[in-house]
């Protein structure tokens, strides 16, 4: 017999504001069990890591069941690398990753520096800012737009098309967009990227789209459809995780000024601190998988086709792997958190997110050492997969 869990109140204010007591309670009963609704719920580090690396586990396209198969959003996201199993996933990740990682290595640091300098200039005459919309959102968004090759004059309209795509990553997200608005955004983004890709073929430059349209890996190259689909994915995924890393992380550091002063006086510890902030309040809380065959995980027999919900945020608070897991320890090392997943489907933007986090916190502690929270409990965005703040008002300490 395996454990049967009651359903969580996932849309309650208590769960949205702080899911970790719910995780802890369930993990203490059993690190794996089946919910009354049918899906399996995993909250233990060991069972989650095993599933993430298991060859008989595939992706789960729960979001696609919510939209018509002929819809624009379905067409645009169908070939997103996160929604593909091998061998399709292996090929797309290899081809996209080759160009993306090269550009991150060669260009990202200078682009991040440029964006941070511009943001700092905007804050020159301000005493207060709303951190999410004035810093955490524009930093990674402008970086990924420039890396991909979107001209600066198009950033505003591309941003408006990208925002509604969150519903395909997190079906539980509270979205202000109607289905018609999501469809219009997906169609407009697809048309725009098609035209941009054609232009990059004729006039290439130092960006991801140009590399993807001209580079070949052992004679292999993405089709235009696969290229456009996964560029749209990078536009969304390439900033959303970092927005929540910056927002969750800065809030956690400022809640106790001891943590913030530690970073101000020990900026060389920021790389370790970024890893701990990723663990402590993970920007991606949940990933959903599907059993491709009958398998056994944690002593439980799981049938082919079963849905498995892997709560990464719960794994990152597992006391069997982290000493005092409920405490924020900015110098924690080692720190084998699962914030970016593991295995073949680990986050492709890990290097970029870490670099953005490191450089952002270095800039903040250097320029705003007396920064403080204005609201002790700022509101959270409603969602289950993605965890972040809706706003974070700050005093810059001037």
pLDDT confidence of residue 292: 95
SS3 state of residue 191: helix
Number of Cβ within a 10 Å radius of residue 272: 16
User: Concatenated DSSP letters for 53-96?
Assistant: H-TTEEE--GGGGGS-TTSHHHHHHTT-GGG--TTHHHHHHHHH
List the domain boundaries for the chain: 4-375+382-395
Residue that has been written with the tokens 């095993």 in this structure: 50
Q: What digits encode the pLDDT tens for the residues 151-160?
A: 999 999 999 9
pLDDT confidence of residue 171: 64
pLDDT confidence of residue 175: 66
Number of Cβ within a 10 Å radius of residue 212: 25
CA distance 168 to 325: 31
pLDDT confidence of residue 58: 92
User: Concatenated DSSP letters for 358-397?
Assistant: HHHHHHHHHH-TT-EES-SSPPBPP-SSB--BS--EEE--
Residue that has been written with the tokens 């580090």 in this structure: 45
Q: What digits encode the pLDDT tens for the residues 297-312?
A: 999 999 999 999 999 9
Q: Give the domain 4-375+382-395 fold.
A: Cytochrome p450 (1.10.630)
pLDDT by residue, tens only, the chain of 398 residues:
567 776 777 778 899 999 999 999 999 999 999 988 889 999 999 999 999 999 999 988 755 455 567 788 888 888 888 888 888 888 989 989 888 999 999 999 999 999 999 999 999 999 999 999 999 999 999 999 999 999 999 999 999 998 887 767 776 666 677 778 888 989 999 999 999 999 999 999 999 999 999 877 777 888 999 999 999 999 888 788 899 999 999 999 999 999 999 999 999 999 999 999 999 999 999 999 999 999 999 999 999 999 999 999 999 999 999 999 999 999 999 999 999 999 888 888 999 999 999 999 999 999 999 999 999 999 999 888 889 999 999 999 97
pLDDT confidence of residue 173: 61
């Amino acid at each position: 017999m395996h454990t049967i869990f009651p359903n969580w109140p996932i849309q309650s204010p208590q769960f949205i504001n702080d899911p970790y007591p719910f995780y802890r309670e369930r993990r203490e009963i059993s690190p794996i069990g089946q919910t009354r609704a049918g899906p399996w719920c995993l909250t233990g580090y060991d069972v989650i890591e095993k599933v993430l690396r298991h060859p008989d586990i595939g992706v789960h396209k729960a979001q696609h069941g919510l939209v018509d198969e002929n819809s624009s959003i379905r067409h645009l996201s169908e070939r997103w690398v996160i929604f593909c199993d091998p061998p399709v996933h292996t090929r797309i990740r290899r081809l996209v990753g080759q160009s993306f990682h090269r550009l991150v290595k060669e260009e990202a640091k200078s682009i991040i520096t440029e964006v941070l300098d511009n943001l700092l200039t905007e804050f020159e005459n301000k005493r207060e800012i709303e951190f999410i919309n004035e810093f955490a959102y524009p930093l990674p968004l402008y970086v990924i737009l420039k890396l991909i090759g979107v001209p600066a004059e198009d950033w505003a309209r591309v941003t408006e098309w990208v925002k509604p795509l969150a519903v395909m990553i997190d079906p539980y997200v509270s979205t202000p967009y109607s289905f018609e608005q999501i469809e219009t955004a997906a169609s407009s983004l697809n048309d725009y990227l098609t035209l941009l890709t054609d232009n990059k073929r004729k006039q290439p430059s130092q960006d991801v789209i140009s590399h993807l349209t001209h580079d070949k890996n052992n004679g292999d190259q993405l089709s235009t459809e696969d290229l456009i689909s996964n560029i749209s994915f990078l536009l969304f995924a390439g900033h959303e995780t970092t927005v929540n890393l910056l927002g969750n992380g800065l809030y956690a550091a400022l809640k106790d000024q001891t943590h913030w002063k530690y970073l101000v006086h020990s900026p060389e510890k920021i790389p370790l601190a970024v890893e701990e902030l990723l663990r402590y309040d993970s920007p991606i809380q949940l990933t959903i998988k599907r059993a491709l065959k009958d398998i056994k995980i944690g002593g439980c027999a799981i049938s082919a086709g079963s849905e498995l919900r892997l709560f990464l945020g719960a794994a990152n608070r597992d006391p069997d792997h982290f000493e005092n897991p409920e405490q924020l320890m900015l110098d924690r090392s080692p720190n084998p958190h699962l914030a970016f997943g593991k295995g073949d489907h680990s986050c492709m933007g890990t290097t970029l997110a870490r670099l953005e986090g490191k450089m952002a916190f270095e800039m903040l502690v250097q320029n705003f050492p007396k920064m403080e929270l204005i609201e002790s409990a700022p509101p959270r965005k409603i969602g289950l997969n993605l965890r972040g703040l809706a706003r974070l008002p700050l005093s810059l300490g001037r």
